[in-house]
Amino acid sequence: DTTNTAPVTMVSGDLSNDNELDLADWANMVACTRDEQGCTEQLKVVADLNDDGQINSDDATIMRRGFIERQGD
């Protein structure tokens, strides 16, 4: 038996792990790129979207692309 499901589009940047890309994720990215107190060690791991060991404008650009590509509200 084969089960057909709708295609799923993965979007980078869900830092809060709530299956939504939203302003909370963006606020977390900003906090991490500025190395602010609100950026926890766990957030630092997930905010490094290109896995280069740094959280910077490259990661923010990846997240911005996610906002452009996302569908729905």
pTM recorded for the entire structure? 0.80
pLDDT band at residue 72 under the 50/70/90 scheme: low
**More confident site: 17 or 28:** 28
Given a cut of 70, is residue 8 above it in pLDDT?
no
The model's pLDDT over 26-70, given as tens digits with 9 standing for 90+, comes to 999 999 999 999 999 999 999 999 999 999 999 999 999 988 887
Using CB atoms within 10 Å of the CB of residue 25, give its burial: 0 to 12 exposed, 13 to 18 middle, 19+ buried.
Answer: buried
Q: Is the pLDDT of residue 2 over 90?
A: no
Distance CA 39, CA 26 (A): 12
Query: How far apart are the C-alpha atoms of 5 and 13, rounded to whole Å?
Result: 24
